[in-house]
Structure 1
């Protein structure tokens, strides 16, 4: 296979035949793998993405999967489960050869990044969504077929909403404006980059009702090359923290806090009595507080003393006048 990760059907049949006839045993294969201490590297298909970049793409599209999962669950009103199955890098030719015919292949742009990307949705998933939107139980047709004009119009609307979620997920790394270019059904007519160019394939496992299938996102290396430095977990965390503590977010948080209601209690004083004295209390009894008339009263916010005040009246209402702020702990900025 010369380092390729995709087996042809003939190679699969030959391997299964060798295992079943005893020519090759599973134990021999495992022992051979243990003995091999080198890794084959094919210079015709070099690795373009580091493990850190693959991990970042995985995290990024996990957020994308959550967004479209929420949208489809509410839109279809049925059980939807979508999660990231894998993130791999391979040649564009290998990706195209793995797609069935007919397929639902959506070509879209990631402006301002140059070039096109592909969003491939398994026909079972597409026809299940269409059947559900048309009032059916959400079952795909028994035999694969191409989309009709009406079905294609529904799919275009669905893809538009999906690309909005794609834009939302990617804004953590770069601000993009995805725009759908075309919908193709034959993989052989879809040529966005040369066959030997490297691409990253994000595979999502989707289950809608009783139907299951894969959603593949194919992004060529040439499209991501200008932002490769941003596809790292370090940049991801740094941008998340910067966004979290930006001045705009702090202003929003402050406005929300200013509208929050908090209880304010003015404590006139305290007195310590025995349990027997408490039991003997009756209407008209007088308790002597541990405070003089000239002393300031305590203003309690929650369970903490925050101010000192003087009692008085304002118009016909009882009121207090703040005379002192009490600072403590991390409250020096108040």
Structure 2
């Protein structure tokens, strides 16, 4: 099953869309995205919000501990939280990158903390007293470098446990580093992962990073973190919300019918007679529907209506 999303693509003047010489024509193109309704890979709005808050907390905690480790100001910002298959996640990563694998007790699938190897080397340089400003290569870590990086990741893992709290119900530990996303095999190709993207800024240098956690670990606990009432309470919940929704209320006189010529010839000072008796109450209408009758009065310096009768409206 496929779902079609429509977008716009600008093409040069005189191109296939028939643009003119002094501007660019725009033609509509269709981007087809495959969607499996039997296995949706989209988070609900409620679950997405819970995870976004958890990852924002993780980013703040991680940034604080990273600053203490490398002894320079470090900022980490959470950008997106999505759900996708492990195959899609691995395909989105660079050919050479640092993937810290994290074992989850009782699960064959592993979590992943991913970042560029050059960014990892930059953190090592900062930890050893360097300025981290030089251009660093994308390569595998030496044994000493890997030990220092794993120490940083141990802190990150502790921050992740704290931020996810009850969502992460199983013990998690560092299991090693891989440098090729295609060979890492942290999970099955079709296994769903909760993928969070981050931006890490250290000494003015920004690098992307991701954290991927098997969805089967987090999803069962999202309902408890953001409980939803059962359907039997839906009517009461809707009524509780509706009574606080503002609506426009108007006091209406009886309308009259005039010809278009009367409207077109209106001038300042003209009068339009209304067939509304002086002693008859006006209609109290909500969205054009009369719900009551009111006598004209005043409250302070403002015109007001005093409700005299109400009526049921079948609509």
TM-score tier after normalising by the smaller chain length = 0.5 to 0.7
Distance in structure 2 (CA, Å) of the matches to 1:20 and 1:143: 39
Unaligned ranges ≥5, structure 2: 18-23, 230-315
Partner-residue secondary structure (3-state), 2:79:
strand
- 2:159 aligned with 1:165: yes
Superposition deviation, residue 111 in structure 1: 4.0
CA RMSD, 1 decimal:
3.4
The 1:232–1:144 alpha-carbon spacing in structure 2 relative to 1, beyond 3 Å, is same
Superposition deviation, residue 171 in structure 1: 1.6
Superposition deviation, residue 177 in structure 1: 3.0
Map of 2:98 onto structure 1: 104
The 1:120–1:102 alpha-carbon spacing in structure 2 relative to 1, beyond 3 Å, is same
Map of 1:250 onto structure 2: none
Map of 1:148 onto structure 2: 142
> How high is the TM-score relative to the length of structure 2?
0.60
Superposition deviation, residue 74 in structure 1: 2.0
Map of 2:26 onto structure 1: 27
Checking the alignment, whether the CA contact within 8 Å between 1:131 and 1:140 is kept in structure 2 is no
Map of 2:132 onto structure 1: 138
Distance in structure 1 (CA, Å) of the matches to 2:109 and 2:67: 32
Aligned positions of 1:48-63 closer than 5 A: 49-63=43-57
Residue deviations 1:266-308 (CA, integer Å, cap 9, x gap): xxxxxxxxxxxxxxxxxxxxxxxxxxxxxxxxxxxxxxxxxxx
Unaligned ranges ≥5, structure 1: 6-14, 236-334
Distance in structure 2 (CA, Å) of the matches to 1:106 and 1:90: 19
- 2:89 aligned with 1:89: no
In terms of fraction of residues, the more strand-rich structure is 2
Distance in structure 1 (CA, Å) of the matches to 2:139 and 2:77: 26
In terms of fraction of residues, the more helix-rich structure is 1
Partner-residue secondary structure (3-state), 2:53:
helix
The 1:201–1:3 alpha-carbon spacing in structure 2 relative to 1, beyond 3 Å, is farther
Map of 2:215 onto structure 1: 221
Checking the alignment, whether the CA contact within 8 Å between 1:52 and 1:233 is kept in structure 2 is no
Distance in structure 2 (CA, Å) of the matches to 1:204 and 1:4: 29
- Match 1:185 to one of 179, 187, 194: 179
Distance in structure 1 (CA, Å) of the matches to 2:181 and 2:16: 37
Which structure is larger by alpha-carbon Rg, 1 or 2? 1
- 2:202 aligned with 1:203: no
